[in-house]
Structure 1
Amino acid sequence: MQIRYFLALCLLPNIVLADEADSTELPTSQCFVTPPVSRSFDDRAALTGIDDEQIVIISDFSNAAFNAQAEFTGDVSFSQGQRHIAADSAILDQKNQRLNANGNLIFKDELFTVTADSLEAQMSTNSATLQKAQYWLHGQQVHGDASKLQITSDNNLLLTKTNFTTCPPGDESWLLEADMIKIDSTEEWGEIWNAKLRIADVPILYIPYMTVPVSDKRKSGFLFPSFSTSTTNGVEISTPYYWNISPEYDLTFTPHYMSSRGLFTKTEFRYLAGEQQNGQFNVEYLDSDDNLSTKADRYLYHWSHQGAVNANWRVRADYTNVSDNNYFNDLDSDVNQSTDNQLSRIGEASYFERNWDFNIRVQDIKVLGEDEKPYQVMPQLNFNYRTEDIIESIDFKFNSELTNFRHQDDEYNTANRLHLVPSLIWPIQGPAGSFTSEVKLMQTQYWQQNLDDDSTLDETVSRTIPQARLHGQVNFERATQMFGEQYRQTLEPQVQYLYVGYEDQSNIGIYDTAELQEDYYGLFRDRQYSGLDRIADANQFTLGFTTRLFDHSNREKFKFSVGQIMYLQDSKVSIDDTYEESSPSTSVLAAELDAQLYDDWFISGSVQHDTETGENKKNEVTLDFRPSNDKLLQLSYRYVPDLLNTNTNDQVDISQAGFRTSWPISDDLYFVGNYYYDLNEDRNIETYTGVQYESCCWAVRLSYHYRIKTNYDDDLTDIDSTSEKFESGVYLNFVIKGLGGSGPLGVADMLNEGLFNYRKPLYMRN
């Protein structure tokens, strides 16, 4: 028969290793290690209304006497809250508050499962000892054996003559053996004494003391090292150390040794400032770079901060400085990549209300490899106001800006600029289309200082320019059949008329203005230049249309856009203040295409064609085959003529073809490869080949990289910036999961390594 026996006593301590909501992700199904479960645990579903202080005992047979020993046999189950014990037999000594259980013993709670030959629990001290135990930590793949497992009175685990691994049973890829392991339930970390690491059952490392995580809670300690070799840096070894200072602060210190350069140290300090602000400091330093003839010191310091002060105020700051122009080209920085050549220094505070906002900003940009320095914004004040239906359906907007431009070099002029823009907008929206009418009055006042005697600039300039813009779009659609499939096709023509008044602006300096690119969406902008130092006059129409195909599930399968500007009057305003009488009557013809060709084949491309000269100003096309998230083949080509080489100031044509692939060789082995070729120079400019093996319990990546190396003019080096240099290297990354590794290495970051990052095509499937 079954007997339910209730005791208002605490049987075992409530050991908490990690909050379930904060635990690491569950492993994939093929990696998940399932602990044993007793069928008697299913009976607890019938128990309701039992609090954590009560014990429910279920057994086939029992023999109990008041204030004496109670014996239970036959499929015995003990339950208290979320803790459960199953055994063949058990003896409960009520007088001495001791429990002994034997035979097919299983202990389980929310966080771990233990099997053992026997269990002895002392209820007065909330402690227990299990002999010849096997344990499993739930949701973390960690499991192992122990000759003795103790649950202490302070809710910790002590394992004697033990081992653990994250590999599935029967897989001995790695195993850690130790004399003792202590799992701290508060810190959620394990301390290990006299550990021996075995890989493929071969002992390779002895560690007298170490700590490992049993949850995702942060803990100070060494992270996994990385190894690589390259033609410029030599043999590289990186050994990061993580310091968990407090819940609000942490620091990572990384000694990075390069045999060709020396010891390169990197320090990253992160902090939280309240609940909604955060930031970090970075300091990097290389003493006496051996790879430079000058033996110069190399350094970087960086600070970033962002967040909300309260419901209205937002702040942001970002500052980076480096010792030389080639810092990111030569060294593996944690702040920027080698393809970054601009350092933006910004300090910003913003205030937001429903109808208005205010912003104050300072900015300085350092361009690596260029002698000419941009102007500094010290500071800029912005005020914007907006309201709807000020006159029936007409909206009102007011934008203003007050900017002080400074320059680090005294020979440059400086300026203050006040820009005021009231505007009225009449938007008409509907499912069949939209029509927007907008008028602006742009009033700008300049006060320019430090002008030399030969300057064509004026000390005071007042500029008033009106603008009118009409933009309309109509949405047509129809049902059609193509390639035996039913589709819904849309036709979305749009037209824009833009008028901007003319005013001579040659008496204004260039402080923050550059020409914008003419892609399809740029054809419908109301400006030709960024910044405000030049506002190009315009009297023009823009015509364009977009067509799309949607399948029966309303998924977009095809999108094509094409458009062009027709100039009714030539623009007389340019950045260099030169007016060409032979100005073109039309802009480039800009077209863009995104399509799912067939099943897993995708194509994406854009072209900017000069219809008057018959030449292409820019071409880009990519062809993707992606049958699944881990399978990719991509072919790409890009062509850009007359691109300025900032090192030589020459005009060069860019014509490059590329191939990229990511493909699983097996369930655990991946291959990633990139190859890019310069068709004009007839040479390879980048090759990347990587092989990654990842199992349930460890991962390794071996990669080779060959690429062209950028060199800027620099006072620290004697490198000729016009010379071209190629760099090659071999890189090895290794992670043992469960020993403090950062988890899977991942294939996505391999796709993004190098000069040409992977650009995913426009997927039109849900």
Structure 2
Amino acid sequence: MLLRANELVYNQDSQRVTATGGVQIYYNRHRMVAQRVEYDQKTGRVMATGNIELVEPDGNRIYAESLDITDDFGEGFVNSLRVETTDNTRMAAESAEQLPDEKMILNNGVYTACLPCAQRPDKAPLWQVKAQRVIRDGKSHTIRLEHARFELFGMPIGYVPFVTVPDETVERKSGFLFPSMSLTDKLGFGTTVPYYHVFSPSMDATLSPTYYTKQGLLLQGEVRNRFETGDHTLRFAYIDQQKASAFDPGTSDARAGNRAMIYSKGEFKINPRWTFGWNAMIQSDNNFSKTYKLEGLNTSNVTNDVYLTGIGTRNYFDLHNYYFDVQDTDYSSLAEKRQAIVYPVIDYTYYAPEPVAGGELSFNANLTNISRRKDDFYTEGSSTRFRGLEGSYSRFTAEAEWKRTFTTDEGLLITPILAARGDGLRSTASSAPSYNGVTYDGDFSGDSANARYMLTAGFEARYPVLITTGTGTHVIEPMAQVFARPNEQLAGELPNEDAQSFVFDATTLFERDKFSGYDRIEGGTRANVGVRYSGTFDNGIGLRGIFGQSYQLAGQNSFATADLVNVGADSGLESKVSDFVTMAALDLPKGYTIQAQGRFDEKTLELRRADASVSYKLPRVNGTVIYTNIQPQPEYGLQETAEYLKAANSLKINENWSFATSATWDINKRDVVRRGVGLTYADECTVFTVAYSDQPANTDPNDWTVTARLTFRTLGDINVGSSGDSSSN
């Protein structure tokens, strides 16, 4: 024992040692300071008074006015006790007793995880639990509160006979979690009482039964396993609906009785380069998980996936098998049957480690094998689109590309490009797809096997010019590309599964092949011409921009040929001279970014499409406003201008409170497509959020949702609604 004090008195007759004035004791990894300490050598007890602070070996601090304890600090009595743990949990009591079995019993105690107010330390914390007895067990690592009253803002709001929480040393502890609640118009009021159980350091589970006032008891659980090379999660849910009539008649929800779901997710590292994993869900009907808002599975589309990926220094391998669960109210599950079943799709990319003829040689391959149970056709306006054909479709694609950049003495950058591609294809679809009396008028190949190729010789020239002024730096880069190719073989004669989403704008202007997938190949000789600009000013302002146009110089224009989904129609590339595309962005030093891009008719300069956004990130406010304008596109079924305005904003009211809103407006229809609002409070011990969202005319059987979450650090969460819901959705 190391003892320090201003005055030390040793009474040999009574065998008492008395230290006064700034007493410091270091013994058996314990540290204590006090105004007066008396040690009785006969009884082995230490009695301390006056501003006592005892620091235990684990870092916890005990403050008291008087203390009577054994010399090994194993047992004793304390008056006016206050305990601060290493995770900022605080306990206080009128008196306490330290027992030899590592238990401390606090009488008339208070428990909280909130820090005291710096301006008013005597002010009640945001929340606290007052109990007749607080038992801190060092062996079981728990804190038990008996006859506990929960107070919020100093006001009592609840009573429980006892509650047990883990102490600061515990990361995972079996026991009941805070109940959660939900409120929806078709399910009613729901209450969930989760139970968490730890099986081992690598395995735990949560059972979360929920009772809905309209539909009965929903049983759901989750079992988690962690292995040396990965982890696995198994989830399940079941309910016997008590009031299916609450749902709209004829829907899958209204016609369901017993509903169940099983979900499995796993990922394993085979070695540092290879990863194998899966996500798989099976449910009794097509809308169970979405209707009951099962966390992570309540989206309109759930992707089942088995995958294998490998990443090397110069190559990449990616294999996926997909099955898409479409969750909607259609009892026949027609939308899901129209989705492709993918088994598999494989992508492989390779870059030569050494230059070939002074340039970069790359190789990529794709294998796609899919089937579909129902034709995916639809008519909108005067346009019929054949998005997917019943039957099977397989394609193997291999492509090699070589390019090298030369720099002239004048600064001109010249890049020759050579590419060669070959495809083998097999389709079992009908020879003449038709829908609602409309037959595809292209030369569709039907049930057949085919092969095609594409050879490309390209040339790219860029001349970046650096301009430095007294106020900033600017780079202006005129750019031109020419790609000479034969016509696209079998154009419009084959299914188009992966090249349907096509938008011609400034980001795709200088792409060698502007199609979004492998099923279409851009053919013919084409030139892309434009200019890029970037500039920075000394005051922190940044400017970026692109302007250009594309020209079909010779051969067949792939974007003007017939296609099962009209992919090139109204794209701006279907004519010999394309529409103008442009993009401009302004970055301001205060956190603002303004960006806009547009496509304009090549003859009249009329607007064809526009996208604009304003984003801002300030100390208290941040958000984004996005505007989209799409002019009529009859070939896509869009008969009138579509204009949308989407805004998402958050305001930090003060250090603790924040407010968020989101909304999407259909400007032409003068209707709100989606909206939401949320309020959040957060400090070191409490997080509270409440949100409301709705989506008129959606496929969710619940038209509106209210969610709330109240989190008390160390105690748990109180939820109202689904944790997957958010006002920003």
- TM-score, normalised relative to structure 2: 0.80
**Alpha-carbon contact 1:473-1:493 (below 8 Å) kept:** yes
* Alpha carbons of structure 1 residues 97 and 494: separation in structure 2 relative to 1, 3 Å: farther
Instruction: Describe the superposition over 1:137-175 as per-residue Cα deviations: whole angstroms up to 9, x where unpaired.
Output: 2442x2231233445555554433311223423332432
SS at match of 2:418: strand
The Cα shift of 1:351 comes to 3.6
Q: Describe how 1:397-546 pairs up with structure 2 within 5 A.
A: 397-408=362-373, 412-427=390-405, 435-449=414-428, 456-457=445-446, 459-480=448-469, 486-505=471-490, 506-546=492-532
Give the AA of the match of 1:91.
E
Task: Kindly state the Cα deviation for residue 492 of structure 1 after the two structures are TM-superposed.
Answer: 3.6
SS of 1:115's partner is strand
Of residues 430-439 and 414-423 in structure 1, the stretch that sits farther from structure 2 once superposed is 430-439
**C-alpha displacement of 1:184:** 4.3
Q: 1:391 to 1:605 in 2, by over 3 A?
A: closer
Say whether 1:76 aligns with 2:47: no
1:332 is aligned to 293
Instruction: Report the CA distance between 1:537 and its aligned residue.
Output: 0.8
Structure 1 residues 402 and 503, CA gap change in structure 2 (3 angstroms): same
For the residue of structure 1 that corresponds to 2:508, the secondary structure is helix
The change in CA–CA distance for 1:492 and 1:299 in structure 2 (over 3 A counts) is farther
Bigger CA drift: 224-233 or 288-297? 224-233
What is the CA distance between 1:84 and its match in structure 2?
Answer: 1.7
Residue 673 (1) aligns with residue 661 (2): yes
Q: What's the counterpart of residue 199 of structure 1? A: 152
Partner of 1:590: 581
Residue 99 of structure 1 pairs with residue 46 of structure 2: yes
For the pair 1:253 / 2:199, whether they are aligned, the reply is no
Find the counterpart in structure 2 of residue 350 from structure 1: 309
1:735 aligned partner? 711
Q: What are the ranges of 5 or more consecutive residues in structure 1 without an aligned counterpart?
A: 1-54, 718-725, 756-766
Residue 645 (structure 2) pairs with residue 657 (structure 1): yes
Closer, same or farther: CA 480–243 of 1 in aligned 2, 3 Å: farther
> Which position in structure 2 is the counterpart of 1:393?
358
* Distance in 2 of aligned mates of 1:213 and 1:77: 32
Contact persistence 1:329–1:709 (CA under 8 A)? no
Deviates more, 1:445-454 or 1:329-338: 445-454
Name the stretch that deviates more: 573-582 or 598-607: 573-582
- The residue aligned with 2:196 is 242
1:291-370 equivalent positions in 2, closer than 5 A: 291-292=246-247, 293=249, 294-297=254-257, 298-322=259-283, 330-336=291-297, 338=299, 341-367=300-326, 370=335
Give the counterpart of 1:640 among 621, 625, 630. Answer: 630
Q: Evaluate the alpha carbon distance shift between residue 403 and residue 552 of structure 1 in structure 2; reply closer, same or farther with a 3 A threshold.
A: same
Q: For residue 576 of structure 1, give the secondary structure of its aligned residue in structure 2.
A: coil
* 1:183 maps to which of 118, 133, 136: 136
1:530-552 residue CA offsets vs partner (Å, 9 max, x unmatched): 33232121422223333333244
Distance in 1, Cα, partners of 2:238 & 2:79: 53
| Alpha-carbon distance, 1:334 to partner | 0.9
- Which residue pairs with 1:47 in the alignment? none
Residue 306 of structure 1 contacts residue 317 of structure 1 at CA under 8 Å; is this kept in 2? yes
Single out whichever of 470-479 and 676-685 deviates more from structure 2: 470-479
- The aligned residue for residue 590 of structure 2 is 599
Q: Secondary structure at the match of 2:246?
A: coil
| Corresponding residue SS for 1:349 | strand
* Aligned amino acid, residue 158 of structure 2: L
Evaluate the alpha carbon distance shift between residue 379 and residue 552 of structure 1 in structure 2; reply closer, same or farther with a 3 A threshold. Answer: same
1:130 and 1:703 map into 2 onto residues whose CA distance is: 46
SS of alignment partner, residue 310 of structure 1 = coil
> What is the count of residue pairs matched by the alignment?
673
1:174 matched to 2:112? no
For residues 94-153 of structure 1, the C-alpha deviation after alignment (integer angstroms, 9 at most, x for no partner) is: 56544332222111246322111333333458445433311222442x223123344555
Partner of 1:51: none
1:89 to 36, 60, 64: 36
* Partners of 1:467 and 1:138 in 2: CA distance: 67
Paired with 2:705 and 2:323, the residues of 1 have a C-alpha distance of 35
Aligned residue number for residue 9 of structure 2: 63
The DSSP-based 3-state class of the residue aligned with 1:521 is coil
Report the Cα distance in structure 1 between the residues aligned to 2:488 and 2:574, rounded to whole angstroms: 18
**Counterpart in 2 of 1:12?**
none
Instruction: Report if aligned partners of 2:586, 2:593 keep a CA contact under 8 Å in 1.
Output: yes
How far the C-alpha of 1:442 sits from its partner, in A, is: 0.8
**How many Å apart are 1:72 and its aligned residue?**
1.8
Deviation of 1:59 after TM superposition, in Å, equals: 0.9
Q: CA deviation at 1:653?
A: 4.5
Partner of 2:381: none
Three-state SS of the structure 2 residue aligned to 1:575 is coil
Identity %: 18
Distance 1:612 1:391 in 2: 44
Relative to 1, partners in 2 of residues 1:122 and 1:598: Cα closer, same or farther, differing over 3 Å? closer
Cα distance, 1:320 vs structure 2: 3.4
Task: Give how far 1:278 is off.
Answer: 2.7
**Could you report, residue by residue, the CA deviation over 1:162-215 in whole angstroms, capped at 9, with x for unpaired residues?**
112234233324321123333344665422222221334443322222222444
Q: 2:180·2:718 contact (CA, 8 Å) conserved in 1?
A: no
**Alpha carbons 2:274, 2:308 under 8 Å: kept:** yes
C-alpha distance in 2 between matches for 1:642 and 1:323: 42
**Which residue in 1 is equivalent to 2:672?**
684
Name the amino acid aligned to 2:369: N
Q: CA deviation at 1:466?
A: 1.0
| Cα distance in 2 between the residues matched to 1:235 and 1:186 | 40
**CA deviation vs aligned residue, 1:643-674 (integer Å, no higher than 9, x gap):** 8999xx77664322344442244444433333
Structure 1's 703 and 402: CA in aligned 2 closer, same or farther, altered over 3 A?
Answer: closer
Question: Unaligned 5+ residue runs, structure 2?
Answer: 329-334, 376-388, 434-443
**Counterpart in the other structure of 1:31:** none
My pick for the range that moved more, 687-696 or 402-411, is 402-411
Whole-Å separation in 2 of the counterparts to 1:264 and 1:613: 61
One-letter amino acid matched to 2:341 = Q
SS at 2:695's partner residue? strand
Query: Is residue 2:66 matched to residue 1:118?
Result: yes
1:763 maps to none
Distance 2:715 2:499 in 1: 53
SS at match of 2:509: helix
- Deviation of residue 317 (structure 1)? 1.4
CA shift, 1:443, in A, is 1.6
**Among candidates 225, 228, 243, match of residue 271 of structure 1:** 225
Question: Paired residue for 2:163?
Answer: 210
Q: Is the 8 A contact 2:628 2:644 kept in 1?
A: yes
Kindly tell me: are residues 245 and 642 of structure 1, through their superposed partners in 2, closer, same or farther at Cα, counting changes over 3 Å? farther
Counterpart residue type for residue 256 of structure 2: A
Q: Distance in 2 between matches of 1:178 and 1:70?
A: 37
Task: Tell me the secondary structure at the aligned position of residue 22 of structure 2.
Answer: strand
Secondary structure of 1:518's counterpart equals coil
Partner Cα separation in structure 1 for residue 407 and residue 353 of structure 2: 14
Amino acid of the residue matched to residue 456 of structure 2?
Q
Partner of 2:332: none
The aligned amino acid for 1:291 is A
